[in-house]
Chain A
Amino acid sequence: MGLKLGNSKNIHLPRAAVRESDREKSAIITVMDFLSRRWLLLIIGWAGFLFVSGITTLLTFVDFYKPKVIFGPSQRFKAGYPEEYPIGEVSTKWMSEYRVWLVRTKQGLYAFLGICRHLGCTPRWVPEEGLFKCPCHGSNYNMEGDVVGGPAPKPLWRVAVSLSPDGQIVVDKSVKEDRPGVREKSQFILPV
């Protein structure tokens, strides 16, 4: 009654795979039996079918899990007039609403994204020390956005700033840059 393994008679194979004489003797199945053309084609056919259907199913699911439309606040916002920002200061005015700092130096005005590059916490601006300090793992950034302490691997993101026709500053959070040399140029700095 019990299923006995090890008896080759019970192993189901296509008829062509087992030669007549073999079936009589219940002999050991040789490599040649498996490699007979029909058997090989069968294996390739099924493997191919399962592979293709598996991959397409997987890709469909991967695509399903990616949201195509994300609802959220606009990435662009108007941040008032340049005169509102004194030279040499970091403004935390837009932090709670947009998570952006505006910094004005002699060279001009630029904006940081308030996201620590280590693990995404929000650093705090500490005016007494002139540092952005992250509470999670102690990363510190200077006014240039460069890492001066802690585990952060990269400098703070800078985002695009421009002037709208009515003279207001427009911050666009969707354009980001952190490479020294590039981040101080064109759209990432407002020479005011």
Chain B
Amino acid sequence: MEEKLKKAKDKVVQTQVWRSIFRQGWPTTDRNRLLTTINTLLLHLHPIKVKTHALKVRYTFCLGGITLFMFVIETVTGVLLMYYYRPTLEYAYQDIKDLEFTVTFGLFLRNMHRWAGHAMVLSVILHMCRVFYTGSYKPPREFNWVIGVQLLVITLLLSFTGYLLPWDQLSFWAVTVGTNMAKATPILGAEGPFSVLPANTDICFYLRGSEDISGNTLLRFYVLHCIFLPLVASGLMGVHFWRIRKDGGISGPL
């Protein structure tokens, strides 16, 4: 019986289809493990070898990886939520209500999107602390730290733009207060020091698409949240991961 199973397995493994998908044999030898890392799209983000000390969980706490994972979860749940959400004044709130009460697992999806968002903000801040305390921003990794700071800002913006979308009292007033601060921007804001622009051309107006929070604001934040910021974040993440490899892998003792 065992013999038969083995033969059957070998037959499958030697078919053209199988071998066109998996370029190497089982990852039981060092050589095949190495090739698995190179040949698999997701795994090839990794270097083939890592410094032993970097494998200690206490060194990285896996925070960067967790942040990426949260971003992936946000993307998946976010796309699913988009099927049932319309960013207009009359529908936005109703759609969230419907999502909670009529859509299969809608409430669970929304919860997951919400909590993963908060978790991402937290893990990205903690990741920054880890990188600082291990001195990992030092040469040759200076520029990757700068990219990281930009990713931190984008993460906060992603979370903040998403905050308005349910169109409830919580989101409306948090965003009112938040965007009103833009009015106080020096020079560019209508009510800030040295202001030169009237209220209908200042930076807050551009942000909101009107003088008060309105349907325009909702649509703007929706586009920023679903398309623009995720694209920018993905691009920067690509550079961020690329630079880790190009700067000599994870930081190590000098």
Contact = CB atoms under 8 A, between A and B. Distances in A.
Interface of A: 62, 65-67, 70-72, 119-121, 136, 153-154
B180 interface: yes
A67 B210 contact: yes
Interface residues of B, number: 16
A189 B173 CA distance: 31
B214 interface: yes
Interface string B181-193: 1010000000100
B230 to A, nearest CB: 19
A121 B175 CA distance: 11
Given A70-B216, A119-B180, A119-B181, A136 B210 contact: no
Nearest to B208: A67
A154 B177 CA distance: 16
Interface of B: 173, 176-177, 180-181, 183, 191, 201, 205-206, 209-210, 212, 214-216
Contact of B214 (A66, A70, A119, A120): A70
B180 A67 contact: no
Given A119-B180, A121-B177, A154-B191, 6 more contacts: A65-B209, A70-B216, A120-B176, A120-B212, A136-B173, A136-B177
Nearest to B205: A66
18 contacts: A62-B206, A65-B206, A66-B201, A66-B205, A67-B210, A67-B216, A71-B215, A72-B210, A119-B180, A119-B181, A120-B176, A120-B180, A120-B183, A120-B212, A121-B173, A121-B177, A136-B173, A153-B191
